[in-house]
Chain A
């Protein structure tokens, strides 16, 4: 993939991530639950 296309893909992915988290609160809650599980296991 060419650099320009890759950067466009990164921008689109970032935008989609932000919009999903803003518009679908349950996605954020799920991510936080996974983060808690990860931190509880790996922060020792």
Chain B
């Protein structure tokens, strides 16, 4: 009985320390200019605001993650970016799992209507609106790029792999948002 009590006390202490660590990191990051992959950051202030014509987004092929701010509530995330046929998209995976729902709350916010934001790449801020793409042939190009860029698949990506990835997107396991200028 004594050993069980001590074991439970140790487990309780470890859980408490873990929760305190996560809460501390989340609070620390919440006021940063920008974000990390796990914890949302605060408002993005640094960087020039882009105006004028859209750039050739193919340069994002060399960029692993970008920062995306949603305006209401104000918070910034660091996420994957994909360019396909001249347009840019962000990806939110793990959307059907409990951990994913906690981790990717920004995607649910965007889906609910909090879809006005700012994208920051290479210290340039681009005002954007997020529009979720649930189906359509455009997903083939996005799926191919996603598999090649983040899945490590050799190009050209096979039609079977593209179809499987597209099915995951259409089933809602991964959510894709187009970043439309606003």
Contacts and interface: CB of A to CB of B under 8 A. Distances in A.
Interface residues of B, number: 23
Interface stretch (B31-39, B42-50, B66-74): B31-39
B158 interface: no
Given A1-B6, A10-B13, A14-B17, A31 B100 contact: no
A9 B38 CA distance: 29
Contacts of A21: 21, 24-25, 28
Interface of B: 5-6, 9, 12-13, 16-17, 20-22, 24-25, 28, 36-39, 93-94, 97, 99-100, 103
Secondary structure type dominating chain A contacts: helix
B24 A43 contact: no
Contact of A44 (B12, B13, B36, B97): B97
Nearest to B97: A43
A9 to B, nearest CB: 7
Given A43-B94, A43-B100, A43-B103, A13 B13 contact: yes
Nearest to B98: A43
B43 to A, nearest CB: 20
A9 B16 CA distance: 11
Interface size, A (range): 10 to 19
A36 B38 contact: yes
Interface of A: 1, 6, 9-10, 13-14, 17-18, 21-22, 28, 31-32, 35-36, 39, 42-44
A17 B18 CA distance: 9
B146 to A, nearest CB: 15
A25 to B, nearest CB: 9
Contacts of B25: 21, 28, 31-32
12 contacts: A1-B5, A9-B13, A14-B20, A17-B20, A17-B21, A21-B21, A21-B28, A22-B24, A32-B39, A36-B38, A43-B97, A43-B99
